Every structure is written in C-alpha cells, then in structure tokens.
Amino acid sequence: MSDKEVIDPQAVLDGVPTGLWIDGASVPSSSGATFVVDDPATEEELVSVADATVDDARRALDAAVAAADDWAATPPRERGEILRHAFELLTERADDLALLMTLELGRALPDSAGEARYGTEFLRWFAEEAVRISGRFTPAPAGTGRILVTHAPVGPSLAITPWNFPLAMGTRKIGPALAAGNVMLVKPAHETPLTMLALAEAFAEAGLPPGVLSVLPTTNAGEVSTALITDDRIRKISFTGSTPVGRHLLAQAAERVQRTSMELGGNAPFLVFDDADIDAAVEGAFAAKMRNGGEACTAANRFLVQSGVAEEFTTKLTEKMSAVRLGPGYEPGVTLGPLVSAKQRDKVAETVDGAVADGARVLLGGKAPGGKGYFYPATVLDQVDPYAPVTRGEIFGPVAVISTFTSETDGVKAANSTEYGLASYFYSRDLERCMRVSGALESGMVGVNRGVISDPAAPFGGVKESGIGREGGTEGIEEYLSVKYIALT
C-alpha cells in the first residue's frame, strides 16, 4: 500500500462487478444463484457473486466465438495498445487492487501490493510481445521449393486459475492469449473471484471488444469446465492449480486433443551449502518461504542445510520468522495474514502435527491460535528427516521445515527426490558448485543465491509432475500460437 491513510474496504468492494463477465458486461447467473466470498480474517461475508452454470458457460463461449475472427484480425499493434491501456488502468488502481486481493485472500497487504505490481506487469510485457510474433523463411535444402513458417492464434482458450495469486495467475494467461489474437474464457477459483472480475472490467474500459474476455466464477468447477472442454470450439486449456486436478484436465483434453499448458504443484527444495553467505541465505529463505504467507507454488517447501552451517542458519531463520506479525492482512504493520480458508488452515495444522509425531522439533509456532479467522502462525520445525512424509507434499503455509545433509551429492539427491520439479533454490559462494548444482537440480526454475525468482520476462514453469509449458518470457506467447508451414514453389 502506498501512503493512503484511510483504508476503506467497503468502497473497494462496492466498486467491483459481482455478476458473471460475459460479452463485455456484468450479468446475473442464468439460474439466479450466487455464492458468498468471505473475509478469511473474520469469516464474515464480503459480497455475494453470481454462480455460473453450464448454460452461462455456453453463452460465454458463443460470445467468444462470435468475437474471435475480428480479434484475430485486429492488428497486433492495436491488440498490444489495449493490453497496455489495461496495464495503465490497473497500475493507477494498484492500491485498491491490492486491498481487494487482501480482502478475498487474507494475506498481508505488502504481499498484495507486490502482486498488484507483478501481476499487471504481464500485461505490459505481452503488450510488447504482441508486435514480435514472427515467422521464418527458408529455401528447401534440395532446391525443391521454399518453406514459409507462420504463426496463427491457437483458438478460443479456457483458463482455470487458483486462488493463491488472484491477479497474476490470470494476467499470465490473458496477456499472451490476447496478444496472440485469441479469445479467452477464465474460470477463477471460487475463493477469490473478485480480482478477476475487476480485471475484466478494466479491460472493457481499456477498449477490449465484448466477447474477447469472459470471467465465469462458479462453485460448479467440474461441470462448467467439462462443458467447455468437451465443446469442440475450445482449442486450448491453460490451467494453474494442483497436480491431481491438472492430471484430470489433461485426460479430458486428450479426448479432443486440445493444446494444454499445465502449471501444477511445487515442492521447492532450498539448499544451503557450507560455503554460503548465511545472512544472505536467511534473507533469501525468508522471502522464499514467507512470500504470500507460504501460499505459493514456488514457496520453499523443504530447507536442506549442510551440517557445518545448520545451527547458525536455523537460529537466524527462526529469529527472523519470530518477528513476523500475524493478524488481519489489511491491518497496518501485519506481515502475515490468515490463510485463505478453514480447509487450508486445517491442512497446514495436520501437516505440522504429523511432522511432530514423526519426530520434528518445534522451534517456533506450531499451533493455530483459535478464534475467528483462518490464522496459522509462522512455524519452524527442525531435526526433520529429509525423506520424512512432511517433505513429500506441498505445505502451502508459513511453515519452515529444516533437514540437514552432509555431502553435495546427498543434498542434491534429497532435493530431487519428489515427483515435483517447479522451482528450487540454493546458496553457495563457489562458482563451480553454482554451475554444477543448478544443472543437477530437476526443476524448471532455479534460484541461485536468491529467494525470489518470478519475473514476467522469464519463462515460468516446471518439469516432472509440476507441469507442461511456460508462462512469461518470450516462451509465454508461443503457448497460444499454432505453427503453420506454407510450402511455396
């Protein structure tokens, strides 16, 4: 938040459309149904939002298909200018947008302010990429003709997004889809639909033609997305969320051989070698763990610390984590808000209890405070076996789990020992080791001596069961383009 003295949540909520966003307007659900979006800090209702049905999804797809040809034929420069205009509008509204995200998601306002900047930046990046879609011309080596390679929009696209970054998870898909000349339907997570609705409205103000972007909040995710995926007119599915749901969507997409991008779960290892700058490693560890209150797919999920520096690192990280202030995310001075839901809070609590039962030592936190709100405190566990059950799944909360290792080989082996491969991090001052370890880690992204890696200009994505495809960078727009080869004489 900038220097605004008065935080007025009601004014921000009053400004958000709460209907479905279809054909350039906010409309009620065809069933008239709505669902409640609550404030994770108080468990009280913020607003009710229209609950999309299968009929609504078909209506949105009809509008999208009707708009598709004109949008694809709109000059790239014009498409880019609309994206740029949306970027500017959202930048002007960054404070309100940050507060809106904190209201529906719970997390602390400084984190939301960070996402307001990071999320809108994808629109600027892809506004610039819109005019750089190019092709290739080659004479056939045998002299038998000429090869022209062009790119066409992939076609009407469906985006399904999670709750943990309500803005960025949308802009990472909408930016490249629209820049490449596609129409898009977005199904946001029902926990946090408001930010995406505010985004759709800003796009309309920026001059986006009706039908090009629709937003379908719903509590019937399975039905609504199945109706769309089984419709031949949808040609691309871009999903960010958990690996089990991604697997299910991949199976559905296989029926019609639709293009897919899958940004799935993570279980990032964070290694600290004996030769690391420990104070820098603690700063990086704190950022990698506590950004978004730990509710990030790139969050450091397992700290693997070489035995010679384990005590110093653990003491310093615990000290830093103990300075975190837990409270409603919109209260000044709060650095850790509640988790998004009771389900997430209970899942984190069960994970910690299980780790303690398996022998972990609690150095900080470890118990939900009780009372209203989905709060869980900053927690540090050490003396954890690097292969213990707690290190196998995503924690998705403010819990640091510390294990030790002796040799570099053992550390890398433990780091690579899960089915995930999204992000990994390590700290070392030895250049050769930096090159060796960054090559050996099985992940789509590696942070070397840094704890935050996301950047709109970089390709974000995973290997193994963390997903397929990349978002951001020059790679991000390729996910929304089909290659067409034209053979010439």
Three-state SS annotation for 256-281 = HCCEEEEECCCCEEEEECCCCCHHHH
Applying CB under 6 A, does 241 fall inside the site for ligand NAD? Answer: yes
Which positions are catalytic? 263
Measured CA to CA, the distance from residue 180 to residue 191 in angstroms comes to: 29
Tokens of 144: 């038998």
Applying CB under 6 A, does 480 fall inside the site for ligand NAD? Answer: no
By CB under 6 A, the residues from 156 to 185 that bind ligand NAD are 160-165, 169
The DSSP bridge partners found for residue 263 are: 240, 467
Nearer to ligand NAD, 237 or 282 (CB): 237
Nearer to ligand NAD, 254 or 483 (CB): 254
By CB under 6 A, the residues from 183 to 212 that bind ligand NAD are 187, 189-190
Applying CB under 6 A, does 71 fall inside the site for ligand NAD? Answer: no
C-alpha closest to that of 263 among 424, 476, 88, 7:
476
* Binding-site string for ligand NAD from residue 403 to residue 442, where x marks contact by CB under 6 A and - marks none: -------------------x--------------------
Q: What is the dihedral of CA 210, 212, 218, 221, to 10 degrees?
A: 160
Residue 341, helix vs strand vs coil: coil
Which of 156, 166, 266, 472 lies at the binding interface for ligand NAD (CB under 6 A)?
266
Nearer to ligand NAD, 190 or 235 (CB): 190
Amino acid letter for position 277: D
Nearer to ligand NAD, 95 or 263 (CB): 263
Tokens of 264: 């799935």
We find the least distance from the C-beta atom of residue 332 to ligand NAD, in angstroms, to be: 28
Amino acid letter for position 351: T
Applying CB under 6 A, does 348 fall inside the site for ligand NAD? Answer: no
Contact 373, 42 (CB under 8 A): yes
- The residue written with tokens 């003295």 in the block is 5
Q: What is the dihedral of CA 216, 17, 84, 91, to 10 degrees?
A: -120
Which of 101, 130, 186, 297 lies at the binding interface for ligand NAD (CB under 6 A)?
297
Nearer to ligand NAD, 189 or 388 (CB): 189
Applying CB under 6 A, does 399 fall inside the site for ligand NAD? Answer: no
Residues in contact with ligand NAD by CB under 6 A are: 160-165, 169, 187, 189-190, 221-222, 225, 240-242, 245, 248, 263-266, 297, 394, 422, 462, 467
